[in-house]
A = this chain, B = another copy of it.
Amino acid sequence: MSLPREFASDNTAPAHPAVLEAMAAANHGPAHAYGADAWTARAVAWFRDEFGGETEVFPVWNGTGANVTALRAMTRPYHAVLCTPYSHIQVDECGAPELLTGCKLVPLPTSDGRLTPALLRGAVKGIGNEHWVQPHVVSLTQTTEYGTRYTVDTLTQLSGVAHELGLLVHMDGARIANAAASLDVPLRAITRDVGVDILSFGATKNGAINAEAVVVFNPALVREMPFLRKQSTQLASKMRYQSAQFLALAEGDLWRANATHSNAMAARLAAGLREIPGVVITQPVEANAVFAILPPAVTTRLQETFHFYVWNEETGEVRLMASWATAPEDVDELLAAIRSEMAA
């Protein structure tokens, strides 16, 4: 049984071969547990090269774990976390943020997954009113769940307003590599340098197996992190194998090559779709996702051969996601099929 062509998510892709080679290379002899090993030391050094010397790095298992651990460091239970209606923390983590932080998540209205200074200003109110949860964190996703991204300028402005309003800035960077590649900037240019306090750094969707990290730029948020990570069930005993994954993606900036490729595949797909009458692309294509409206009957027939999600049952919007492993031929086959179904 062969899988249908895969456009469902970047986590259905395999790991990059270099990742498994690095893990195998790390698999000799004993190593101190819980991160006191040589691979983790080297991975931390790489993060500090990328993000700046005082960066503190806490590898964790997955994106939900990274987000929850980060938010716990930034909140007390009477706080509110501002996000979007599409944020992974709001939609896709089965309430883990509420359970582990005690906080209320407050989604602000946006149509493209991006927050704005005006949205923040409108949401920070009732400060000091003991009856109301107190906005204390804004969580930005980069690239967003709608495949869009914040520019350096936008982030600088947003982060400035957030801090002015007394908010800490969390960035869900499950696809941070795609943003850096899309903008052609270093990782630190869209994180530490624009005022992000804590980054959930994602490697899994970039070609790793299960390697994410809570990356702390705000030094006041460092001290509690080891305890919060452990209590959030996110501390790996054999951490060397996570660190080896980071190192594999660091080597020769493989992470950037992977992200650039997946972005290019989405661009190729979008370019093709724009040529097909009747297909409406609904979001700016700025990273590795394409959102488009297809006739439901077309979607149904396509799903016999291709794996992808309907994002909005009412409008017929679908999500088409490219990964480091998506081949140009995969894209072209999908385009051909859509062209053919639309013509039928």
Contact = CB atoms under 8 A, between A and B. Distances in A.
A204 B63 CA distance: 21
Interface string A88-127: 0001111110111011110000000000000000000000
B27 A6 contact: no
A236 interface: yes
A230 B93 contact: yes
Contacts of A13: 30
A234 B233 contact: yes
A238 B177 CA distance: 19
A230 to B, nearest CB: 4
Contact of A237 (B62, B79, B100): B62
Nearest to A228: B78
Give the interface residue-count category, chain A: 35 or more
A213 to B, nearest CB: 14
A325 interface: yes
A32 B61 contact: no
Contacts of A12: 30-33
A192 interface: no
15 contacts: A9-B33, A11-B237, A12-B31, A32-B307, A63-B237, A68-B233, A76-B224, A77-B99, A78-B94, A94-B131, A94-B132, A95-B231, A130-B229, A130-B235, A233-B233
Interface of A: 1, 3, 6, 8-9, 11-15, 17, 20, 23-24, 26-34, 38, 61-65, 68, 72, 76-80, 91-96, 98-100, 102-105, 130-134, 204, 209-210, 224, 226-238, 241, 307, 325
